[in-house]
Amino acid sequence: MQFEVFTLLPEVFPSYLETSILKRARERGLIHVNVHNIRDYTHDKHHTTDDTPYGGGGGMVMKPEPVFEAIESVMGRLAAPQPTGKPDSNIPIILLTPQGRVFNQSIATELSKHPRIVLLCGRYEGIDERIRENLVTDEISIGDYVLTGGELPALILIDAVARLLPNVLGDPTGAEDDSHAMGLLEYPHYTRPPEYRGWKVPEVLLSGDHGKIDKWRRQQALERTLRKRPDMIEKADLSKEDLKFIESLKPKVD
């Protein structure tokens, strides 16, 4: 899968992309992350990418020309606006902005099905609205708070999407057990030693009985989700047995 990132701060990206799972995924050709500097697509002496807002007010606004030129020159005619306005292409052109739909695991799964996506990182007080209206096809926020730009949100999106791609995670079960993947928070994990400062690893995990272990993990995931994120329980895909277990917990959590 290919990520085309457009930013005014390309230097932000390498350190994160050159570590751990994303580094290995890139080395193995499972993902490609191409970072493009919007400033390279300016034509004036000062490489201007922002200007004051029409109508007055504080802050600066990202100019339309360098953004259109950058995306069109990398993506070719695909990104060129059609008479209908939006680009004629199935490649999502995603603006990272606090005004977007709030990112979650199901959006990550949806994006992981595309072979190529464009991520446009906003900076300054905002972007010229013509970029949003005539170039961008989707807007994503990583939460209801305001950051100084879309670079961290873009890295978060790349990370969440990449780990869903085949063979990116070393473990053959992949991201299946991750929190949120099954609509539940993940069960607790333990490793050696079996006892630390008097705190013991739950007996069942040392039993070698995988049927019992699976059941315990499922119940822990259900209990945790009910306690920490009751909103998720309402949307989760639950079996009859799960529902019975949740019923048995209710007096405890209410």
Give me the active site residues, please: 98, 125, 163, 178
Distance of alpha carbon 179 from the chain centroid: 14
Neighbours of 101 (CB within 10 A): 10
Please, which residue, 96 or 226, has the CB nearer to ligand ADE?
Answer: 96
CA distance readout (Å), 244 to 64, 219, 247, 248, 253: 57, 11, 5, 6, 15
- Binding to ligand ADE by residue 164, rule CB under 6 A? no
All residues at 6 or more sequence positions from 10 whose CB lies less than 8 Å from its CB, including other chains: 35, 36, 37
All residues at 6 or more sequence positions from 84 whose CB lies less than 8 Å from its CB, including other chains: none
| Nearest approach, Cβ of residue 156 and ligand ADE (Å) | 9
- Binding to ligand ADE by residue 143, rule CB under 6 A? yes
Please, which residue, 82 or 106, has the CB nearer to ligand ADE?
Answer: 106
- Select from 141, 184, 187, 225 the one that contacts ligand ADE (CB under 6 A): 141
- Binding to ligand ADE by residue 150, rule CB under 6 A? yes
- Stretch of residues binding ligand ADE (CB under 6 A), selected from 142-150, 163-171, 174-182, 236-244: 142-150
- Select from 35, 111, 142, 222 the one that contacts ligand ADE (CB under 6 A): 142
Please, which residue, 69 or 139, has the CB nearer to ligand ADE?
Answer: 139
Q: How far apart are the first and last CA of the chain?
A: 45
For residues 190-202, one letter each, b for 16 or more C-beta atoms within 10 angstroms of the residue's C-beta and e for the rest, the string is eeeeeeeeeeebe
Query: Angle at CA 152, nearest 5°, toward 146 and 155?
Result: 145
x/- binding map, residues 166-195, to ligand ADE, per CB under 6 A? ------------------------------
- Select from 80, 147, 165, 204 the one that contacts ligand ADE (CB under 6 A): 147
Give start and end residues of each alpha helix (H) in 28-149. 64-75, 105-112, 129-134
Tell me which residues in 55-114 interact with ligand ADE (CB under 6 A). 96-98
- Binding to ligand ADE by residue 119, rule CB under 6 A? no
- Binding to ligand ADE by residue 158, rule CB under 6 A? no
Please, which residue, 138 or 177, has the CB nearer to ligand ADE?
Answer: 138
Cβ neighbourhood burial of 98 (10 Å; 0-12, 13-18, 19+)? middle
Q: Which of 108, 115, 189, 110 is nearest to 153 (CA)?
A: 108
Task: Using CB under 6 A, list all residues that contact ligand ADE.
Answer: 96-98, 122, 141-143, 145-147, 149-150, 153
